[in-house]
């Protein structure tokens, strides 16, 4: 059963999370053939993946652990571990992860609304931000690469807002309000002028990012 996947920016390879009764397997595949090039066993299932800018590494956000693993696709070895400290029993799942345009900063979002920023080279945490209540449902890099948009919430923690965060300062610079329930998905137009959001309130909204 495949539970997560990500493709390389050139569209030639992808990774998928395949879980069976005994193992958690990350598979590197060629596209478009789907041929398996490498299989790497992970300690837990992964919720999300992202390729490094040079495509040598894959970042895997664990679903039932508090870690994001930076995995060398040539050797299968783990080069770096980025650990969230969970709010409950020190364990939290990683829901979303993205890399900045330059590839030097990793951004992760967890089960409890925390967004964390990491130096990819050193593994050091650069800062964190509690901007969303509940599970982070969506997190995207906006065109230009200087800001990200994030949203979250669930049945127990409804959060109808969308937060725009400046990556350099790691602060919320704009809050988009208008949904009646938690947004679940985000997308931006290529020119960076508009943000689209889908929500549990069964609406899709189009936001002007300049005016909010």
pLDDT of residue 206: 97
Instruction: Mention every residue, 6+ apart, whose C-beta is less than 8 A from residue 183.
Output: 137, 138, 151, 152, 153, 160, 162, 197, 198, 199, 200
User: In whole angstroms, what is the distance from residue 142 CA to residue 96 CA?
Assistant: 15
Which pLDDT does position 86 carry in this prediction?
Answer: 54
Q: What is the pLDDT of residue 157?
A: 66
Q: What is the mean pLDDT of residues 39-46?
A: 92
pLDDT score, position 3: 77
Give the whole-angstrom CA distance, residue 29 versus residue 51: 13
- List all residues 6 or more positions away from 70 whose beta carbon is below 8 Å from its beta carbon: 52, 57, 58, 59, 78, 79, 80, 81, 82, 120
- pLDDT at 20 > cutoff 70: yes
Question: Span 6-23, mean pLDDT?
Answer: 90
pLDDT of residue 21: 73
The confidence score (pLDDT) of residue 87 equals 54
What percent of the chain has pLDDT above 90? 72
Looking at residue 65, its pLDDT comes to 78
Which has more confidence, 13 or 92? 13
Q: What is the average pLDDT score of the chain?
A: 90
Note the pTM of the prediction, 2 decimals: 0.89
Question: What is the tens place of the pLDDT at every residue in 175-198?
Answer: 999 999 999 999 999 999 999 999
Q: What is the pLDDT of residues 65-105, one digit of tens each?
A: 789 999 999 999 999 999 876 555 556 789 999 999 899 99
100-146 residue pLDDT tens: 989 999 999 988 888 999 999 999 999 988 888 888 999 999 999 99
pLDDT at 132: 84
């Amino acid at each position: 059963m495949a539970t997560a996947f990500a493709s390389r920016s050139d569209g030639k390879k992808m990774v998928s999370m395949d879980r069976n009764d005994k193992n958690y397997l990350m598979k590197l595949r060629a596209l478009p053939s789907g041929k398996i090039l490498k299989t790497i066993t992970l300690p837990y299932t992964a919720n999300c993946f992202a390729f490094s800018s040079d495509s040598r590494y894959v970042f895997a956000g664990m679903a039932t652990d508090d870690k994001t693993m930076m995995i060398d696709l040539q050797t299968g070895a783990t080069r770096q571990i980025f650990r969230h400290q969970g709010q409950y029993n020190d364990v939290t799942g990683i829901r979303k992860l993205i890399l900045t345009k330059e590839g030097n900063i990793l951004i992760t979002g967890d089960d409890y609304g925390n967004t964390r920023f990491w130096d990819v080279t050193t593994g050091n945490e650069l800062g964190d931000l509690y901007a969303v209540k509940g599970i982070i449902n969506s997190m995207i890099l906006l065109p230009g690469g200087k800001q990200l948009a994030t949203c979250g919430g669930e049945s127990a923690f409804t959060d109808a807002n969308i937060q725009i965060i400046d990556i350099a300062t790691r602060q919320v610079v704009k809050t988009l309000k208008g949904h009646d329930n938690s947004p679940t998905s985000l997308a931006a137009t290529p020119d960076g002028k508009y943000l689209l959001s889908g929500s549990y309130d069964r609406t899709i909204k189009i936001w002007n990012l300049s005016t909010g």
